Amino acid sequence: MALDPQLLEIIACPDTHRAPLAHDAATGTLTCTECGRRFRVEDDIPVMLLDEARTAPTGPQHTDQEEDR
């Protein structure tokens, strides 16, 4: 997975903060340095959609299990 370095310089998080993204070559994803969203890369083209982004695993939310208390 090789992303164009120039592309990395111009793309930013689609959220309002427009933060730069860090490319993770190991997983082939782009991680927002501000909100921690992860964007996948398809065919060397970053999918810069908030709906497609994975939120950071850190945080108080646990979506794996439903707790009813």
Instruction: With residue 24 as reference, give the H or E element that holds it.
Output: strand 21-24
Q: Answer yes or no whether residue 35 interacts with Zn ion by CB under 5 A.
A: yes
Work out whether 48 is an interface residue with Zn ion (CB under 5 A). Answer: no
Q: Is 32 in the site for Zn ion (CB under 5 A)?
A: yes
Closest CA to 1 of 25, 34, 19, 20: 25
DSSP letter at 59 equals S
Note whether 55 and 36 are within 8 A (CB): yes
Q: Which CB, 15 or 52, lies closer to Zn ion?
A: 15
Smaller CB separation from Zn ion, 1 or 18? 18
- Minimum distance from CB of 13 to Zn ion (Å)? 3
Binding site for Zn ion (CB under 5 A): 13, 15, 19, 32, 34-35
